[in-house]
A and B are shown apart, each in its own frame.
Chain A
Amino acid sequence: MTRAAQKPATFQDLILRLQQFWSARGCLIQQPYDVEVGAGTMHPETFLRVLGPEPHRVAYVQPSRRPADGRYGDNPNRLYKHTQLQVILKPSPADSQELYLQSLEAIGIPLREHDLRFEEDNWESPTLGAWGIGWQVLLDGLEITQFTYFQQCGGLDLDPVSVELTYGLERIAAFLQGVESVYDLRWSADRSYREVRWAEEQQFSAYSFDLASPERTRQQFNLAEAEARTLLDGYDARPEMERPRFPVLAAYDLCLKCSHLFNLLDSRGVISVTERAELIGRVRQLACRVAADYAEQIRFRAGASA
């Protein structure tokens, strides 16, 4: 194991350090996706790129919105929006775990001095038709990363299997900086997490728990879904030669919007149990259709370049 580096002093240093580490290991450093998502997995760099046979390595930060987890900025550990650093290694190399552990040393965690464990935790997203097998990584009892061998995405078996590393950046930063509340984190040399994000937590919690209009949110859901369906039906109707350039990516954005709007309705507490299952099913249907079409586009591209 390599010597552990100095601890990054700030939240942004932590991000830079991890990006540097993964960049040096052949990862494309991508930007966060500009549609609301609940997890880094939903970024097209993961959801779509794990499909098909082409190797891919990517790392990016993804602010992830989970309306139901908001606490009006009152809880020191729970957030409406937390920050993930997501790494995809496709295909998963034989030394995935080693690489991951080296990344911890790179952010100043000397592993010999800590209690580190991989504990079973399989990941599943019913809205994306995706699941994987893996662990949560516990560092001195703190869950810092979700480590997943991606098995299925959009209902499709993945071949090759990718490994997905999802670092919980707030938790890791709080660990490194030794603070009890996420709001006390140093974001930069002169700004705290509170200064950067507190207002956002307060306001979006209030919106998603109390103020979002259930009717209009439902309408938005229906509109986004209808638009996505129209696109996907359009894809099916096209002759093969017109399909590679067809905007399946736009359909995926709309699917992500549905997913977020569903989360919003859920946190608003206006979804009955039956409706809940039904809405999840509708989003999954979009996700699976997008995945199938995108996988076909990959095959077309491979055929064209061959």
Chain B
Amino acid sequence: MSPRSKPRPRRAAHRPASAATRPADHAEFLLELGCEEIPADMIPRACEELKASLEKHLAAAALSDGAVVEAFGGPRRLAAVIRNLPLKQQDVVREVTGPSKAAAYDAQGLPTQAAAGFAAGKGVRVEDLFVVKLPKGEFAAARQLTRGRPTAEVLREIAPRSLAEIAWPKTMRWPAPGNPRFIRPVRWLVALFAGRVVPFEFAGVRSGSHTQGHRFLGRRSIPVTNSADYQSRLRRNFVLVNPTERRQKIQKELEALAAAHALRVHADEALLDKVSYLNEFPAVIPGGFDPSFLELPQEILITVMRDHQKYFAVETPGRELAPHFLAVINSDRDRRGQMRAGHERVLRARFADARFFWAADQVKCRLADNVPKLAAVTYETRLGSYAQKIDRMRGVARALALDLVPALSQAEQFTPRGVPLDRVSIELNLDVVDRAALLSKCDLVTEMVHEFPELQGIVGGLYARAQGESEEVAVAIYDHYRPAGLEDALPRNLTGCVVALADKLDALAGCFAVGKIPSGSSDPFALRRAAAGVVRILVERRLPLSVLRAVEAATAMLAVHNSRIARPAGLEARVAEFVADRARFYFQERRGYAADEVKAAMAPGWDDLADLADRVEALRRIRVTENFPPLAAAFKRIRNILEKSAAEEAIPEAPDPARFAAEEERALHAAAEAAVADVARLKPARKYQQALERIAALRPVVDRFFDKVMVMAEDRAVRANRLALLRNLLLEFSVIADFSEIVTAVTAPKKT
């Protein structure tokens, strides 16, 4: 049976459906770079950069109109598809000016040598030159036509340039023509425009039309013609090029396998991201382990599974860890059960190790016995060892606790109604705090943390509990590295909060003192995270501490324990400013306050961040009320008036009621006095919203004042008196927030 004897309708149907509707003068570009395994974490970023580079170069080549760029990748390839590209660039006509008319044409109006030279230089005939009138005079000009180049030609330049522009964290060299540098050796290139190869060379490899399938399950050389058959042929060869598809496949299989055992997957988005970039064709297989390992703390078991083996832990509906795991394999299926057996064996050995470390640590010594060993562990060259850091932390923790104890008993009454007290306890025992600070770093010299550094703190907490330390101490040690980011949980008890603050404040004070200050993307001691942690603990645990005093406690300890650490002038203020800057970021990015709200609330002060949180919240609530925007506009106007007149006018301390000339200014003064008295009562009680409402209620009086009263009166004394009235108004009512910082749509009346 000859294939030719039969019509082959299926072939025709295979053509992409959009081909018919797509204009024939547009086509698609497919680019694939085949590479030895790219580190999984770097792939998403590289795809973004490739896309951005292509878009940039297309725009520069006037080819970006209507073109849609997509980039994606996996461990062995980066790919990009540009749809809807014109077949050639548009022709462009450009007008260029040359010599002045006087130089280009002689008295008879005939072109001179200069004109001929200019025309030749621009590639036009001299008779096609014309004269343009410019502000500088009249000039000879030429109309230059740049013919659009075929897109394929442009792509030959753009594609290698875009690949070269991917900024990898670390590149390597390998033997290839031209001594290329890339993340890993490049092994093949596919570049097809309108189905034809776009020839170029990159990293010593020439572009072609053949891709490669899965290392073991797919074919070695697969011809492709466009993005649709690129994806489908690769799928048949066990490569899913689309990361979203890989992720969804993994997620679906994880859930199905867990459900089959009436269990659930221990959710882990970061791990899911990672494994979807580690495998070309991921599949999930189940595995189990000896239930006796469940005696080990869950944290350790999960860390071993997640960080070391990239397995998903599985738990019962009651959130108890189950003796099972789910592994993502780089294959379609576990043909003979070998993969499962292998993964189970490795996990068994890892768990046995962990059990060995646990037992060895318990036998060797108690946590407290490790304190002297910390003298041999460097924290930072000039800041000394962890033993010294612990000494400093104990001092800072004590200072914070001493401030907190009285403040807390007082602060209880200020907790706004309706806001739950987000604290486990409000009791703070100085000895307990000191014990927790003393033991906080002792797990750094245990076998367990040596093996699993990511479990620092957690191991200390677990050991403390196992060795009979109080629960308050154990939990505080366990939690003291928290929060690790904007999303991470906070220390659960108050002792933990104090130790965590002491740890972070010491890091900030110490590193600023020795000049290890974060700049740009470089922040090796994670000081931004430390400062953000300070902010979150103070705000979300509602701890009424002074930032500046806390920082001072930390810098004071620097001198106590190491006289060699110089304390540059202004150190405390700089550290506090750094914390304030993180607070600004936190309130805007994490809490969703507008930039002007945060600025306005920080203007009168930010030393008490829990208090700042209350004020900014009150401000957000008041700003949507009817009276507020006009009042804010009026305050802005007052500030402008005062700024303009500050230099010339001698404004008295307070306005003299006897000098008031207009009824409206008398009224404003009286209303303001009453409001000041009320605010003075409300503010210490932290009834900020009521206070702000009280101020906002001044609006009609303020409006009438500005309607009827000319501030800049002829009479010098009257004028100064009015300015004094306004200045006091601004001062008295900016103690909660500086209204004049609030951006309003209302424009105040022009008259002054």
Which residues of A approach B to under 8 Å, CB–CB?
1, 75-78, 91-92, 94, 97, 101, 111-120, 122, 133, 135, 139-142, 149, 151, 159-161, 175, 178, 180, 272-274
**Is there an interface contact between A141 and B36, defined as CB atoms closer than 8 Å?**
no
The listed residue with most B CB atoms (<10 A of its CB), out of A92, A94, A117, A122, is A117
Q: Is B278 an interface residue (CB 8 A)?
A: yes
Are A113 and B336 closer than 8 Å at their CB atoms?
yes
State which of B342, B348, B385 has its C-beta within 8 Å of the C-beta of A139: B342
Contact of B330 among A116, A122, A133 (CB under 8 A): A116
Q: CA A117 – CA B327 in complex, angstroms?
A: 13
Contact of B349 (CB < 8 Å), options: A91, A101, A159, A180 = A180
CA distance A133 to B36 in the complex (A): 12
B319 CB within 8 Å of chain A: no
A160 to B172 CA separation, bound complex (whole angstroms): 12
Are A112 and B216 interface neighbours, CB within 8 A? yes
**B342 touches which of A78, A94, A175, A273 (Cβ 8 Å):** A175
Q: Give the docked Cα–Cα distance between A51 and B355 (Å).
A: 44
- Contact present for B173 and A161 (CB under 8 Å): yes
User: CB-CB < 8 A to A273: which residues of B?
Assistant: 376-378, 385
Q: Which residues of B contact A1 (CB under 8 A)?
A: 216
Of B36, B173, B339, B348, the contact of A140 (CB 8 Å cutoff): B339
**Other-chain contact of A141, B216, B343, B356 (Cβ < 8 Å):** B343
Residue of B nearest to A273 (CB): B378
Q: Is the beta-carbon distance between B349 and A77 smaller than 8 angstroms?
A: yes
The answer to whether B338 and A116 touch across the interface, beta carbons within 8 angstroms, is no
Q: Give which listed residue, A111, A115, A159, contacts B329 with CB less than 8 A.
A: A115
Q: Which residue on chain B has the smallest CB distance to residue A152?
A: B173
- A residues within 8 A CB of B329? 115
A140 and B338 contact, Cβ closer than 8 Å, known pairs A116-B330, A151-B172, A151-B173: yes
Q: Are the CB atoms of B36 and A161 closer together than 8 Å?
A: no
CA distance A252 to B722 in the complex (A): 88
What are the residues of chain A within 8 A of B40 when measuring CB–CB?
Answer: 119-120
Complex Cα–Cα for A135 and B327 (A): 20
Which residues 31-62 of B have a CB within 8 angstroms of A?
36-37, 39-41
Q: A101-B215, A120-B40, A141-B327 are in contact. Are A115 and B352 (CB under 8 A)?
A: no
Contact of B175 among A78, A92, A118, A272 (CB under 8 A): A92
A142–B349 alpha-carbon span in the complex (Å): 10
Interface range on chain B: under 10, 10 to 19, 20 to 34, or 35 or more?
A: 35 or more
**20 further interface pairs, Cβ-Cβ under 8 Å (given A75-B356, A119-B40):** A76-B352, A77-B349, A78-B353, A91-B175, A92-B175, A94-B187, A113-B335, A115-B329, A115-B330, A116-B215, A117-B37, A118-B36, A120-B39, A122-B170, A140-B341, A140-B346, A149-B174, A175-B345, A273-B378, A274-B378
How far apart are the CA atoms of A142 and B341 in the complex, in Å?
A: 11
Please measure, in the bound complex, the distance between the C-alpha atom of A128 and the C-alpha atom of B693, giving whole angstroms. 71
Chain B nearest Cβ from A158, distance in angstroms? 8
Q: Which of A119, A120, A178 has the most CB of B within 10 A?
A: A120
Q: Are B173 and A180 in contact, CB atoms less than 8 angstroms apart?
A: no
Collect the chain B residues with CB atoms within 8 Å of residue A117's CB. 37, 278-279, 330
A81 to chain B, nearest CB (A): 19
- Given A75-B353, A92-B175, A133-B170, check contact A180 B348 (CB 8 Å): yes
> Considering the chains assembled together, what is the distance between the CA atoms of A274 and B381 in angstroms?
8
B353's closest neighbor in chain A, by CB? A77
Measured in the bound complex, the distance between the Cα atoms of B173 and A151 in whole Å is 7
Contact B331 A272 (CB under 8 A): no
Closest CB pairs A-B (n = 4) = A140-B342, A120-B39, A118-B37, A115-B329
Instruction: List 13 A–B pairs whose Cβ atoms lie within 8 Å, in order of A's numbering.
Output: A1-B216, A76-B349, A94-B176, A111-B215, A113-B336, A115-B329, A117-B279, A117-B330, A120-B39, A133-B172, A140-B345, A142-B346, A149-B174
Tell whether B365 is near chain A: CB-to-CB under 8 Å: no
B216 and A116 within 8 A (CB)? yes
**Residues in B whose Cβ lies below 8 Å from that of A111:** 215-216
Whose C-beta in chain B lies nearest to the C-beta of A121? B39
CA A117 to CA B353, docked complex, whole Å:
23
CA of A133 to CA of B35 in the docked complex: distance in angstroms?
Answer: 14
One digit per residue, 1 when the CB lies within 8 angstroms of any chain A CB and 0 when it does not, for chain B 242-280 equals 000000000000000000000000000000000000110
Any A CB within 8 A of the CB of B185? yes
> 1/0 per position for B318-358, CB-CB distance to A under 8 A?
00000000010111001110110111011111001100100
Least distance between A11 CB and chain B CB atoms (Å): 18
- Closest Cβ of chain A to B33, distance in Å, is 15
Give CA–CA (A228, B217) in the complex, Å: 53
B335 A141 Cβ-Cβ under 8 A:
no
Question: Known interface pairs A272-B376, A273-B378. Does A113 touch B173 (Cβ–Cβ under 8 Å)?
Answer: no
Establish whether residues A140 and B343, one from each chain, have CB atoms under 8 Å apart when the complex forms.
yes
B346's contact among A141, A151, A161, A272, by CB below 8 Å, is which? A141
- A161/B174 in contact, CB under 8 A: yes
Question: Does B90 touch A at the CB level, under 8 Å?
Answer: no
In the complex, what residue of chain A is closest to B285 when comparing beta carbons? A115
How close is A113's CB to chain B, nearest CB, in angstroms?
A: 5
A114–B346 CA distance with the chains assembled, in angstroms = 14
- Cα distance A135–B75 in the bound complex, in angstroms: 12
State A135–B184 Cα separation when bound (angstroms): 10
Within 8 A of A (CB), among B8-25: none
Listed residue (B216, B330, B331) with the most chain A CB atoms within 10 angstroms of its CB: B216
Chain A residues closer than 8 Å to B346, beta-carbon distance: 140-142
Known: A113-B338, A141-B327. Contact between A133 and B378, CB under 8 A? Answer: no
Query: Could you tell me the distance between the alpha carbons of A211 and B533 in the complex, rounded to whole angstroms?
Result: 46
CB distance from A206 to the nearest CB of B (A): 16
What residues on A are CB-neighbors of B342 within 8 Å? 114-115, 139-142, 175
Q: Which of A75, A116, A141, A149 contacts B347 (CB 8 A)?
A: A141
CB-defined contacts of A122 to chain B, threshold 8 Å: 170
Tell me if B347 and A114 are in contact (CB < 8 A). Answer: no
CB-defined contacts of B37 to chain A, threshold 8 Å? 117-120, 135
Q: Which chain B residues border A97 with CB–CB below 8 Å?
A: 36
Question: In the bound complex, do residue A112 and residue B172 qualify as a contact, i.e. CB atoms below 8 Å apart?
Answer: no
Decide yes or no: A161 and B175 within 8 Å by CB, A140-B346, A149-B185 being known contacts: yes
Binary interface encoding of chain B residues 73-108 relative to chain A, with 1 for a CB under 8 A from any of its CBs, else 0: 001000000000000000000000000000000000
Q: Give the one of B174, B187, B352, B376 with max A CB within 10 A.
A: B174
Q: A residues within 8 A CB of B278?
A: 117, 119
Q: How far, in angstroms, from A133 to B377 measured CA to CA in the complex?
A: 29
The smallest C-beta distance from B366 to any residue of chain A, in angstroms, reads 18
The residue of chain B having its C-beta at the shortest distance from the C-beta of A91 within the complex is B175
Closest A residue to B36 by beta carbon equals A97
**Interface pair B175/A133, CB less than 8 Å apart:** no
| B residues 161-179 in Cβ contact with A at 8 Å | 170, 172-176
A66 to chain B, nearest CB (A): 14
| Least distance between A89 CB and chain B CB atoms (Å) | 10
What residues of B have a CB within 8 angstroms of the CB of A175 in the complex? 342, 345
Alpha-carbon separation in the docked complex, A15 to B184 (Å): 29
CA distance A71 to B345 in the complex (A): 21
Q: What is the CA–CA distance of A113 and B349 in the complex, to the nearest angstrom?
A: 22
Closest to B336 in A: A113
Does B309 have its Cβ within 8 Å of any Cβ on chain A?
A: yes
Given contact pairs A92-B175, A120-B39, A151-B173, A114 touches B339 in the complex (Cβ within 8 A)? yes
Question: In the assembly, what is the distance between CA of A97 and CA of B345, in Å?
Answer: 26
Select from chain B the residue with minimum beta-carbon distance to A272: B376
Bound-state CA distance A112–B377 (Å) is 46
Q: Nearest-CB distance from B427 to chain A (Å)?
A: 39
Minimum CB distance partner of A115 in chain B: B329
Within B373-387, the residues touching A (CB, 8 Å) are 376-378, 385
Is there contact, CB below 8 Å, between B172 and A149? Answer: yes
Cβ contact within 8 Å between B217 and A115: no
Separation of A242 and B556 alpha carbons in the complex (Å) = 62
Give the Cβ gap from B185 to chain A, nearest Cβ, in Å.
7
Q: Please name all residues of chain B whose beta carbon is closer than 8 Å to the beta carbon of A116 when the two chains form the complex.
A: 215-216, 330
